[in-house]
Amino acid sequence: MMQHNFSAGPCILPKSVFNKASKAVMDLDNSGLSILEISHRSKAFVEIMEKARTLALAHLNLNPNEYTALFLQGGASYQFLMTAYNLLESKAAYLDTGTWSAKAIKEAKLLGEVDVVASSKDKNYNYIPKSFTVPSDANYLHITSNNTIFGTQIKDFPQVDAPVVCDMSSDIFSRAIDFSYFDLIYAGAQKNMGPAGATLVVVKNDILGKVSRAIPSMLDYQTMISKDSMFNTPPVFSVYVSMLTLEWLKQEGGVSAIEKKNKEKADLIYTEIDRNPLFEGFAVKEDRSAMNATFTLKDEALKSKFDEMAKQANLNGINGHRSVGGYRASMYNALPLESVQVLVDVMKELERTA
Amino acid sequence: MMQHNFSAGPCILPKSVFNKASKAVMDLDNSGLSILEISHRSKAFVEIMEKARTLALAHLNLNPNEYTALFLQGGASYQFLMTAYNLLESKAAYLDTGTWSAKAIKEAKLLGEVDVVASSKDKNYNYIPKSFTVPSDANYLHITSNNTIFGTQIKDFPQVDAPVVCDMSSDIFSRAIDFSYFDLIYAGAQKNMGPAGATLVVVKNDILGKVSRAIPSMLDYQTMISKDSMFNTPPVFSVYVSMLTLEWLKQEGGVSAIEKKNKEKADLIYTEIDRNPLFEGFAVKEDRSAMNATFTLKDEALKSKFDEMAKQANLNGINGHRSVGGYRASMYNALPLESVQVLVDVMKELERTA
Ligand SMILES: Cc1ncc(COP(=O)(O)O)c(C=O)c1O
Ligand SMILES: Cc1ncc(COP(=O)(O)O)c(C=O)c1O
Ligand SMILES: [Mg+2]
Ligand SMILES: [Mg+2]
Ligand SMILES: [Mg+2]
Ligand SMILES: [Mg+2]
C-alpha cells in the first residue's frame, strides 16, 4: 500500500534511489560485492565519494577552487560544535530562530562569546527576526535557513560583513539561491540528500585556519579536507545513497526545477490551510517554509476524527512536533505533489463531514 | 561470481544480513516504508535501536544495570577523542601497540597528560608489550585489543587497578572473554558488527561524571545515555544492519561458537604460513591475531605471480597495509572457512609452480 510520507526527517527519498540502493546492498554494479562490504579505500568507493562531493558543489553552483564539500558523520548537531571549534576565536553572532539555533548557541558558548543578535522565541519561533545588527568584531554570523520544527524559512538573507555560517539541514538543494553568499553550509543528509548517517559540509577554504586553539583531528575541517573527506572510515552507505539522490536531482533538472515543484506543493497546502475554516497556519505568512508546513486544528475536538481519516488515507508522519503541537507536513524534494493533494483532500473531507 | 572478501574493514557480513537489509531498503517489515525513510522516533526504529543495544550487551554477557550500550556516529577515531574528553582528568596511561593506539594517544594529549606505559614501535609493532607499570594516579589505561594493521592481538589482559578503556574495533564479538574486565569498550561497526557509519560504545555507568571540564553535548556519554542513544538522529541504517548482524551471531551460537570457527580459520592460515617455505608471518607467534593474519612473501619476485593467482581465485582485499607491506588476510566473523581454504590452496599452488 502506497504510503504518503510527510516525515520531518529521516524522510522520503526517490523510489528510483531505493531501487538502486537495495540492489547495491546485494551487489554493487556487478562487482560481486555488496556496497556494505567494500573497502572505503576501494576504487569503487573513492569514485562514489568524489562523485557525491562534486555533485554537491555543482548543485550549489559553487566554485570547486573556492569551496570544499565534505561528507562527515555526527549529524548537524555535531556541526554545532565543529563550526565553533574551527571558527570561533573570540565572539560569534547567532540568530535564534528555533530549537536548532538554540542548540547551536548552547554548544558555541563553550568555546567563546556568543552574541544572540535577535530571537523569535518570544512568539514560540513563529517568525524570522528581520532587523538586527551583527557586531563588527564577530568572527561569523550563524543562521538556520529553515526551521524544521516551527515551519519558518529565511527568504531574504541579511547583508553582513562577517562570514555567514548556515545550518541548511532542512532546505538544502530545495531552492535556487546564490550559495556563494555563504561561507560555510552544513546539513544532515536525512532530508533532501539521503539517509541518516552522513552530513554535508560545504566550506569556503579561506575562512579556515584563523583560530588559535588546538583542534582535535575529528573536529578539524582542515584535516578532513586534506584527507579528501576520508580521514577515517566514512559512512559508506549513506554517502552512496546521497550520491544517488544528488544524481536523481540532476536528472530532475537541479535545484531550479525542484524549486518549482516545491513551490507548487507549498502553494497547494498553504492555500488549503488558509481557505479551510477548520485549520490555521502556525508560522506568519511571509516566513512560511516551503519544506515544513505547520498548522493546527482550531477545534481540538476534531483531532481524533482527522487523525483517523489521515490514517485511512495512508498519510504518514503529519503529527506536529511537541513544541508546536497540531500538524506538520514536511514536503521535501522527493515528496510527490499527489501526496500533498491527498492530504488536502482529507482536510476538505473533514470540513465536509465535521 | 563468488568473491572471497578478506577486507580489513568495511568487510564481509553474513549473506542473510545482506538479504534482509536489501529487502528493508524497499520495504521494512511490510510497513510500506523503506528503512531509509522512516523517522528515528518511529516505534519501528526505537525497537530496532533497543534490540541492537540489548543484543550487544547480551553477547558481551554484561549486566544492563551496570553497563550501557550506545550506537554513535564518528567511528572509532571519534572515540579517541570522546573517551579522553569524558575520562581524562589529569593523567591517562596508554599502551602503544600500533597505528590506532598512536592516534588515540595523539588526541588524548590535547586533554591531559598521557603516559605511554609501553610501546612496540621499536619492532614496527609486530608484538604486544607484556610488562609495564600503570601509574597509580592514572585515570584509566587505554589499550587496543586487536591491531588490525599489524595483525597482533592481546591474549592476556594486564591486571591493573585503573579503569580499562579498550578499542575493540577489530575483534569485538569474536571471542569469549570476561568483558566485565573492561570499563569502556568501543568499536567501529565495520568489522564484526555491521556496515560503516555506526560505532558501538559500551560503558560502565559508574566511571562517568568524574572529570571537571565542561563536555560538549555531542562528546558527552552521559548525554547520549540519558537520551537512549538518540540525542540526535542516529545512523538508522547502520544501526539496523548491526542489529541484524547481532541477531545472526545469536543464531550462530554467540561469541563462544564463533570463537571456535575463528580459531579454525586462523589455525588454517597460520599453519600454511609457517609450513610454506615461500611465506613468513609478520607478527610474533604468541601475539598473532585471529582476525588479521599478516604475512609476506620471502621472495618479492613472486609477487606479481601470486597476485595474479589470487585474482583468478577471486580473493579480494588481501593486500597488506602500507605500514607492513606483504599480505593481510582479515578473517572476521562472517568470513567462511572455505574462503580461507581457497587462499591456502593458492599459497600451496604458488609453492608447487614457483
Ligand atoms: C534545521 C536542523 N538542524 C539540525 C538538526 C539536527 O540534525 P541531526 O539530528 O542530524 O543532528 C535538525 C534535525 O532535524 C534540523 O532540522
Ligand atoms: C583497531 C582500530 N581502531 C580504530 C580504527 C579507526 O576506525 P574508524 O575508521 O571507524 O575511525 C580502526 C580502523 O580500521 C581500527 O582497526
Ligand atoms: Mg559574506
Ligand atoms: Mg484556515
Ligand atoms: Mg578493572
Ligand atoms: Mg613460512
**For A45, nearest residue in chain B (alpha carbons):** B10
A114 touches chain B (CB under 8 A): no
Nearest CA to ligand 2 atom 1: B169
A354 touches chain B (CB under 8 A): no
ipTM metric:
0.98
User: Is the CB of A188 inside a 6 Å radius of any atom of ligand 1?
Assistant: yes
> Is A289 within 8 Å of A147 (Cβ atoms)?
yes
Annotated binding site of B for L-glutamate: 41
The pLDDT-based confidence of A2 (bands split at 50, 70, 90) is confident
Contact B39 A317 (CB under 8 A): yes
Instruction: Work out whether the CA dihedral B52, B55, B60, B61 comes out positive or negative.
Output: positive
For residue A31, the tally of other CB atoms under 10 A from its CB is 16
Identify the H or E element spanning A117.
strand A113-119
Where do the domains of chain B lie?
A: 16-251, 254-353
Contact B13 A34 (CB under 8 A): yes
Contact B36 A103 (CB under 8 A): no
CA distance A16 to A14: 5
* Beta-strand pair A91-96/A279-281: unpaired
Q: Which three cell numbers stand for residue B34?
A: 523503506
Contact A73 B18 (CB under 8 A): no
Instruction: Using alpha carbons only, give the angle B233, B235, B240 rounded to the nearest 5 degrees.
Output: 120
Residue A262 labelled as part of a binding site: no
Instruction: Work out whether the CA dihedral B32, B36, B38, B42 comes out positive or negative.
Output: positive
Report pLDDT digits (tens) over A227-240: 999 999 999 999 99
- B287 HSE (CA, 13 A, CB side): 23
Class of domain A15-251: alpha beta
Q: How far does A13 lie from chain B, in Å, by closest CA?
A: 7
**Amino acid making up residue B31:** S
Contacts of A214 in chain B (CB under 8 A): 110
Instruction: Using alpha carbons only, give the angle B316, B320, B322 rounded to the nearest 5 degrees.
Output: 135
Q: Return residues 213-232 of B near A (CB < 8 Å).
A: 214, 216-219, 231-232
Contact B73 A36 (CB under 8 A): no
Q: Catalytic annotation on A100?
A: yes
| Mean pLDDT, range A103-121, rounded to an integer | 98
pLDDT at residue B248, as a whole number: 98
- Nearest residue to B73 (alpha-carbon basis) of A77, A168, A109, A9: A77
pLDDT at residue A305, as a whole number: 98
pLDDT in tens, chain B (354 residues): 689 999 999 999 999 999 999 999 999 999 999 999 999 999 999 999 999 999 999 999 999 999 999 999 999 999 999 999 999 999 999 999 999 999 999 999 999 999 999 999 999 999 999 999 999 999 999 999 999 999 999 999 999 999 999 999 999 999 999 999 999 999 999 999 999 999 999 999 999 999 999 999 999 999 999 999 999 999 999 999 999 999 999 999 999 999 999 999 999 999 999 999 999 999 999 999 999 999 999 999 999 999 999 999 999 999 999 999 999 999 999 999 999 999 999 999 999 999
Q: Catalytic annotation on A345?
A: no
- As its CATH architecture, domain B16-251 has 3-Layer(aba) Sandwich (3.40)
Torsion angle, alpha carbons of B8, B13, B18, B24, to 10: -90
Residue A190 labelled as part of a binding site: yes
pLDDT mean across residues, chain A = 98
CA distance A240 to A242: 5
Pick from A82, A94, A100 the residue to mutate for probing ligand 1's pocket: most ligand atoms within 8 Å of its CB: A100
B323 touches chain A (CB under 8 A): no
b (16+ CB within 10 A) / e for A40-79: bebeebeebbebbbebbbebbebeeeebbbbbbbbbbbbb
| Mean pLDDT, range A194-223, rounded to an integer | 98
Q: Which CATH superfamily is domain B254-353 in?
A: Aspartate Aminotransferase, domain 1 (3.90.1150.10)
Instruction: Using alpha carbons only, give the angle B218, B223, B226 rounded to the nearest 5 degrees.
Output: 145
CATH 2.30.30.240 applies to domain A255-353: no
User: Is the CB of B188 inside a 6 Å radius of any atom of ligand 2?
Assistant: yes
Is the pLDDT at A1 greater than 70? The verdict is no
A44 touches chain B (CB under 8 A): no
Report pLDDT digits (tens) over A140-180: 999 999 999 999 999 999 999 999 999 999 999 999 999 99
pLDDT at residue A255, as a whole number: 98
* CB burial of residue B285 (10 Å; 0-12, 13-18, 19+): exposed
pLDDT at residue A300, as a whole number: 96
**For B104, nearest residue in chain A (alpha carbons):** A217
Contact B32 A3 (CB under 8 A): yes
**For A232, nearest residue in chain B (alpha carbons):** B77
For residue A243, the tally of other CB atoms under 10 A from its CB is 26
pLDDT at residue B1, as a whole number: 67
* Beta-strand pair A315-316/A292-297: unpaired
CA distance A231 to B13: 23
pLDDT at residue A288, as a whole number: 98
| Mean pLDDT, range A59-80, rounded to an integer | 98
Contacts of B253 (CB under 8 A, 6+ apart): none
CA of B104 to the centre of ligand 5 (A): 20
**For A73, nearest residue in chain B (alpha carbons):** B74
